[in-house]
Structure 1
Amino acid sequence: MLNRRHFLTKSSATFAGIQILPRSVFGANEKLNIAFVGAGGKGWHAVQSLQQNDMVNFAAFADVDENRAAEARKANPSVPFVSDFRKMLDQHGKSIDGVIISTPDHTHHFNGKTCMLAGKPIYLEKPLTHSIGEARDLMALEKQTNLACQMGNQGHSGGGILMLEEWVKAGILGDVNEAHCWAGPMWSHTNARPAEEPVPAGLDWNQWVGPAAMVPHSSKYLPAKWRGWFEFGNGTLGDWACHNMDAPYHVWGLDCPSRVEIESTGPSKLSFPSTVKITYTFPASATRGEFKLHWYHGKDHALKRPQELDAARAFPDGGTLIHGSKATVLMGTHAGTPRVIPEVKMQELATGLPKVNLKRSSHWDNWLLTIKGQETCRSNFAYGGRLTETMHFGNIALHVNRNLTIDPKTRSIIGDEEATALMQGPAARDGWKV
């Protein structure tokens, strides 16, 4: 009988590892050995989410911050731990069936590509990468290797998108040519480099900085605050767009925008504007007309409460609002369950709404079952990369502080050399190119 680990090792070495593995490789009840790159913060959430999963054994933890990983290690004292995930792959790679990567945005490409080159299926948190060039590189590698790759926008496997898709097919909303998406939490900092602070014990600062240019350590960068710094994160847009733009992007088959128009409090070369409105224009396709996707965050450009929303009902801090010619739909964050507003309209339509089968695997299980050869990743890099690209076009416009014109066929910015250069992101630091 074919040994599954020999199969994976041999396949990855020749870049012929197939995404849909034969059932003789992974038995229906056979557990997968899953490793974690990042075991604290979002990584700890991943550990907790899979702690009781019947398909999973924990193979190894890797985290550059021993203190942040302490809870995961305490809960799983027998699981091997290292600070450098490359050592984890060297020491345990033959027994690892998949890797979950929960690290800052600027390390996504390096960590993800390193694991993929080792033949490992990966679950990579959103946004997929720190630049458009990095996203395209991982998309190409996914296509080349056929590895099971999933971006961690978990709402993509929820029922909200399923329901919205069926409602649109049934004509419940009527004609739709725009959607409004927003988020509440802000990731913005002053345009000044923080003062240097001593590196805490247990933190490998060199590894944390990884492929980015070296800067002195500061508590202003971590935990989580890295999201608001340009060289490490992607701001509020990067944190939330892959969640709250996901439903309209998927349901209306959006791809590359032709135009990005911005309003904001102005650029900060080190960080991001605190208040923003972005309008993405997508050209017409064979199935729909031109579509506009509006993004908002910050009080000065906040989306106004819709008139259709009942007075007793709260307007969520983040979500998606879709105005159709026949009905208006409000969704919460992470492609939450859609609801027609006002409620009286929802009740009028209730009996005519299509029945939707919401029973399907979770986002985690969808990835695990894809490794086993039983499903296909719903937010694979071919999809998640395009959604991430769209987010990045908005952040590039904010960084250069002007609107962008894009050729959707070549997916390139027209007539703006500075913005075009930002598509590739900064060159990796010496020793961190992969």
Structure 2
Amino acid sequence: MTKKSVNQKKSDTSRRSFIKNSAITAATFMIVPRHVLGGKGFLAPSDRLIIAGVGVGGKGQSDIDYFYKSGKADIAYLCDVDDRRSANTVKNFPKAKYYKDWREMFEKEGKNFDAVSVSTPDHTHAVVSMAAMQMGKHVYVQKPMTHDIYEARKLTEAAQRYKVVTQMGNQGASGDGVRQLREWYDAGVIGDVHSVYIWTNRPIWPQGIPWPTDKPAIPKGLDWDLWLGTAPYKDYVEKLIPGSWRGWWDYGTGALGDLGCHLMEAPFSVLNLKYALDVQASVSSVFEDFGKRGVYPDSPPASSHATLTFPKTNKTKGKVTMHWMDGGIKPERPEELGADELFGDGNSGILFVGTNGKMMASEYAANPRLLPLSRNQEVKVKQTFARVPGGADGHYAQWVEGAIAGYGKKELSSPFDLAGPLTEAILMANLAIRGADIPKPRASGRGFEYPVSNMKLLWDYQNMRVTNYDEVNKFVKREYREGWSLGI
């Protein structure tokens, strides 16, 4: 060990240990209320959360801002592979130390922060979150929780093993809307739900297209190799960053990954859904020429319709069928909805079909409504679920306060034990969508067929495997690029 390493080790007493020891010493002399020592509104260091942000541009910037607005968080470290995207956050938090590689930040600063916010593209969510939890850090990760089903299962297990406070960034889980839907359903207002329809206008980025062939220069300030992370190496292409990466399977999870966590969370919460039994899908890809289908397996299709079947729960009398529709596909308008009345929010929506009625909501489960709309003035039920202060925006402060309190001390809206199965269902639907877009040569040697389009994929949730079509199982757990590992 070098002299520098020895000195570093000697001086490496954590900030929390120092505070704890100082507090014990002070307590031997006198006990004084904290508010007297610190003045009105004072928060002791032990009542603040020291956060390191990984991916701090775009959505990462707004996440960091919301944590700071909670009034109980200090933004101490920032990390991003793209100096252009992170510039505003670095400017807003000039005292925060900035890193390009999260692994270096974890190694050098790990003892100096309590929690990590992960707002990178989908394909690096799991490796950053797992490394943080293995260090005992609380984790907030943007939706979807992971890129692969295997990753979601392992992160869910890790949160329990390491006893850290976790939250996925589907803010609607903290909104008033989903709680209103739960209260209506628990009161029996619409009877027993057997079908749920979910739809969105996403994708709003290019999908179902070939990988670009141009090879522009990598922009100054972007570490392209670090951005690729776990994904296979490819030359840099324009317009992938900041948002079009969602339309490529190597990095994103399509429309389902973007909006699924915001739309499917409500039926999961209302009906206590967990693991699906089966899934089937149909897709529509971009056509190169009239009558000729474009086959681009690297990119999700332009639109899709996936149908999942969930087993009976303690909130349902039988199985539940859930329909996911994207790319502009919508379910048939309910007959109870007037011709000029808005279906969902116009772009997205959730429709619960029960034996005695229907209820509907917008994206984030906002603006919940009974159908016909006249029922909303007639039906009154008791409030049984506490509201999160600030609603959906309070999702951030809820995690901050939960992390300060410690594992298991406070209820959270989307901890990994809830977010994990939700994410798995979303990614399971993607198995069928990806499979439905895989062409197979016909036995005759003339043309292709798409067998998964005509199949129902049967799911063994315990072993995380499709049991009747093995080819799609390669998407359950992808192979990371050499040098990257989930660390388990």
Same fold flag (TM > 0.5):
yes
- The letter of the residue matching 2:349 is G
Give 1:167-206 correspondences, 5 Å limit.
Answer: 167-186=184-203, 187-194=205-212, 195-206=214-225
| Counterpart among 84, 109, 123 of residue 92 in structure 1 | 109
Instruction: Give 1:219 shift.
Output: 1.4
> Once the two structures are superposed, what CA deviation does each residue of 1:133-176 show, in whole Å capped at 9, x if it has no partner?
11111112112101111111111111112111111111111121
Instruction: Give 1:346 shift.
Output: 1.8
Residues 66 and 397, structure 2, Cα contact 8 Å, conserved in 1? no
Give 1:414-429 correspondences, 5 Å limit.
Answer: 414-425=467-478, 427-429=479-481
Give 1:47-66 correspondences, 5 Å limit.
Answer: 47-66=64-83
* Structure 2 residue 120 is the aligned partner of structure 1 residue 120: no
3-state DSSP of counterpart to 1:364: helix
- The letter of the residue matching 1:5 is R
> Once the two structures are superposed, what CA deviation does each residue of 1:169-200 show, in whole Å capped at 9, x if it has no partner?
11111121111111112144244221222110
The aligned residue for residue 440 of structure 2 is none
Residues 29 and 55, structure 1, Cα contact 8 Å, conserved in 2? no
3-state DSSP of counterpart to 1:49: helix
Q: 1:87 to 1:184 in 2, by over 3 A?
A: same
> Once the two structures are superposed, what CA deviation does each residue of 1:105-136 show, in whole Å capped at 9, x if it has no partner?
00011111121122211101111111011111
Residues 349 and 363, structure 2, Cα contact 8 Å, conserved in 1? yes
Residues 76 and 95, structure 2, Cα contact 8 Å, conserved in 1? no
- The letter of the residue matching 1:293 is M
> Once the two structures are superposed, what CA deviation does each residue of 1:232-271 show, in whole Å capped at 9, x if it has no partner?
0000011111110111112111111112111211563111
Measure the CA separation in 2 of the matches of 1:5 and 1:327. 54
> Once the two structures are superposed, what CA deviation does each residue of 1:65-113 show, in whole Å capped at 9, x if it has no partner?
0010111111222221111112222332222111110000000111111
* Structure 2 residue 176 is the aligned partner of structure 1 residue 159: yes
Give 1:20-39 correspondences, 5 Å limit.
Answer: 30-39=47-56
* Structure 2 residue 336 is the aligned partner of structure 1 residue 308: yes
Measure the CA separation in 2 of the matches of 1:188 and 1:88. 34
> Once the two structures are superposed, what CA deviation does each residue of 1:347-390 show, in whole Å capped at 9, x if it has no partner?
222xx322356532421122112212241333111211111111
3-state DSSP of counterpart to 1:173: coil
Measure the CA separation in 2 of the matches of 1:359 and 1:163. 10
Larger mean Cα displacement after TM superposition, 66-75 or 280-289: 280-289
Instruction: Give 1:410 shift.
Output: 4.3
Larger mean Cα displacement after TM superposition, 69-78 or 59-68: 69-78
* Structure 2 residue 305 is the aligned partner of structure 1 residue 277: yes
Residues 67 and 397, structure 2, Cα contact 8 Å, conserved in 1? no
3-state DSSP of counterpart to 1:214: coil
Residues 188 and 229, structure 1, Cα contact 8 Å, conserved in 2? no
3-state DSSP of counterpart to 2:218: coil
Measure the CA separation in 2 of the matches of 1:278 and 1:268. 19
Residues 132 and 392, structure 1, Cα contact 8 Å, conserved in 2? yes
Measure the CA separation in 1 of the matches of 2:16 and 2:103. 19
Give 1:391-402 correspondences, 5 Å limit.
Answer: 391-401=426-436, 402=452
* Structure 2 residue 237 is the aligned partner of structure 1 residue 207: no
Larger mean Cα displacement after TM superposition, 338-347 or 402-411: 402-411
Residues 150 and 464, structure 2, Cα contact 8 Å, conserved in 1? no
Length, aligned pairs only:
414
- The letter of the residue matching 1:189 is Q
- The letter of the residue matching 1:291 is V
| Counterpart among 319, 323, 328 of residue 349 in structure 2 | 319
Measure the CA separation in 1 of the matches of 2:277 and 2:186. 25
Residues 310 and 341, structure 1, Cα contact 8 Å, conserved in 2? no
Measure the CA separation in 1 of the matches of 2:143 and 2:55. 14
* Structure 2 residue 365 is the aligned partner of structure 1 residue 335: yes
Structure 1 unaligned regions, length at least 5: 9-25
Residues 188 and 235, structure 1, Cα contact 8 Å, conserved in 2? no
Measure the CA separation in 2 of the matches of 1:371 and 1:228. 34
Instruction: Give 1:52 shift.
Output: 2.6
Residues 328 and 340, structure 1, Cα contact 8 Å, conserved in 2? yes
Measure the CA separation in 1 of the matches of 2:207 and 2:182. 38
| Percentage of identical aligned residues | 33
Residues 15 and 112, structure 2, Cα contact 8 Å, conserved in 1? no
* Structure 2 residue 323 is the aligned partner of structure 1 residue 291: no
Length-normalised TM-score, structure 2:
0.80
Q: 1:145 to 1:4 in 2, by over 3 A?
A: farther
| Counterpart among 241, 250, 257 of residue 276 in structure 2 | 257
Measure the CA separation in 2 of the matches of 1:357 and 1:294. 27
- The letter of the residue matching 2:475 is L
* Structure 2 residue 418 is the aligned partner of structure 1 residue 366: no
* Structure 2 residue 365 is the aligned partner of structure 1 residue 354: no
- The letter of the residue matching 2:327 is G
In angstroms, what is the RMSD of aligned CA positions?
Answer: 2.4
* Structure 2 residue 159 is the aligned partner of structure 1 residue 142: yes
- The letter of the residue matching 1:237 is L
| Counterpart among 240, 247, 256 of residue 237 in structure 1 | 256
Measure the CA separation in 2 of the matches of 1:320 and 1:153. 15
Instruction: Give 1:28 shift.
Output: 9.3
Measure the CA separation in 2 of the matches of 1:408 and 1:130. 17
